[in-house]
Amino acid sequence: MSQPDTIWYTRCGVPTTSGVAQHYRWLHQEFARSGIAVESIRASDDPAVRLSHFDHNVANSFREGGNVPPLWARGNGQDTVLVGITWIDEEQLIFVRDDSPIRSVDQLRGARLAIPQRGGQVVDVGRAQDLRGLLTALQIAGIGRDEVTFVDLTNERAPDLREAANASLSHWTSAVAQSLLDGTSDAIYAKGAFSATLIERHGFRPILDINEQADPILRVNAGTPRPVTVSGELARNHPEIVARYLAVLQKTAAWALTHPAEVVRAIAAETGATEAAVKRGFGPRLHERFSVALSPLYVQGLRHQKDFLVQEGFITDFDFDSWIDERPLTLAADLVDAVTLDEAAPAAAA
């Protein structure tokens, strides 16, 4: 079967190996050698193409980022394959206003906790993310979910998937922050560079950082771990293309180990945050976290997230083990040395 002349990629506005690789145009350079164009789903003018960031409808496409959409898409029967996982821990904070009498997470009993709620044709990532973060906080404090009040913040506005939309806080993060500012909630959840931005903008006070928990499963949420998925047909018919894509990611991860400043700069562009917010939100070892793997812990964490989303009604259950294909990542190990990263190449605009 002849190789495709175009492959597509999408990544979330968070630290991803794909994001760093596309920022420096290394994915594009690698496949240009074989006459294959690399196109961004989120840069498309076609809304139906951009929607593939959630439902993986575009053929010959790769996705790396938050785990809720790919789990949702697979639960809906989409033909995708899980070929790798990254695990980049991030600050996950429970915030109160600075003038709040709540000083610690065990004082949340009886509190109003804000969670966004959005309608539409795709899974509600913001609600899944904030609900899990808040429930984890309650679990740590030994508080039952029936001992707090969840405040639903309805937002019918469709998510803006265009790459330029990274330049500002997401709709759900902004709405949740506003609920704390205007006093309709007592505590909220925020993560990563967004959490640092909320401190910078509003002076919110954290009462818990979930990322400080020693048990990695307690740190699992929509952003941790992050799956790398690919169209099933591409994986079956052209495993060498999938392996080359993963080889670029692994070479990028190796490069990142010795280029911490450049990594922060790329992630600031990817997230629309300041470099200071990136450093705070993802910590001083961010540059060490970009390797793609299918380790037992990574798989366990993602499976745990799938089970949570099923239990809470966000997705339909599916056979998780049959979703995993380890072969492309194994093939990629033999291709990494042949990948050349042009560090002089101009970075992407967004």
Each domain of the chain, given as residue ranges in start order, spans 6-88+225-338, 92-219
C-alpha–C-alpha distance, residues 145 and 37, integer Å = 49
Task: Calculate mean pLDDT across residues 113-126.
Answer: 89
Bridge partner residues of 7 (DSSP): 38
pLDDT at 170: 53
Q: Which of 128, 105, 118 is nearest to 186 (CA)?
A: 105
CATH topology of domain 6-88+225-338: D-Maltodextrin-Binding Protein; domain 2 (3.40.190)
Q: Residue for token digits 């380790």?
A: 295
At residue 165, does pLDDT exceed 50? no
Task: Calculate mean pLDDT across residues 216-233.
Answer: 97
* Residue 334 exposure: Cα atoms within 13 Å on the Cβ side: 7
pLDDT band at 348 (very low <50, low <70, confident <90, very high): low
pLDDT at 349: 46
At residue 309, does pLDDT exceed 70? yes
Which region, left, alpha or beta, applies to residue 142 given φ > 0 means left and ψ of -120 to 50 means alpha?
A: left
C-alpha–C-alpha distance, residues 55 and 336, integer Å = 30
Domain 6-88+225-338 shares a fold with domain 92-219: yes
Task: List alpha helices for the chain, DSSP H.
Answer: 17-23, 26-32, 47-50, 52-55, 68-75, 125-141, 171-181, 192-202, 232-237, 239-256, 260-271, 275-282, 296-311, 320-323, 327-333
Q: What is the mean pLDDT of the chain?
A: 92
Q: pTM for the full model?
A: 0.94
DSSP state, residue 347: P
pLDDT band at 157 (very low <50, low <70, confident <90, very high): low
pLDDT at 192: 86
Side chain identity at 323, as an amino acid letter?
A: W
Residue 153's H or E segment, with its range, is strand 149-154
Task: Calculate mean pLDDT across residues 181-188.
Answer: 96
At residue 104, does pLDDT exceed 70? yes
DSSP state, residue 293: B
Domain 92-219, CATH: 3.40.190.270
pLDDT at 156: 59
Task: Calculate mean pLDDT across residues 190-209.
Answer: 89
The residue ranking higher by pLDDT, 167 or 338, is 338
Look up residue 222 and give its two tokens. 């929509």
Task: Calculate mean pLDDT across residues 317-344.
Answer: 94
Interacting residues of 75 by C-beta distance below 8 A, sequence separation 6+: 310, 315, 316, 317, 318
pLDDT at 350: 44
For 171, list phi and psi in degrees, rounded to 5. -60, -45
Which region, left, alpha or beta, applies to residue 291 given φ > 0 means left and ψ of -120 to 50 means alpha?
A: beta
Task: Calculate mean pLDDT across residues 28-39.
Answer: 96
Alpha carbon 320 to chain centroid, angstroms: 19
Q: Which of 48, 41, 50, 47 is nearest to 18 (CA)?
A: 41
Task: Calculate mean pLDDT across residues 73-87.
Answer: 98
At residue 174, does pLDDT exceed 90? no
* pLDDT tens track for 261-295: 999 999 999 888 899 989 988 999 999 999 999 99
pLDDT band at 162 (very low <50, low <70, confident <90, very high): low
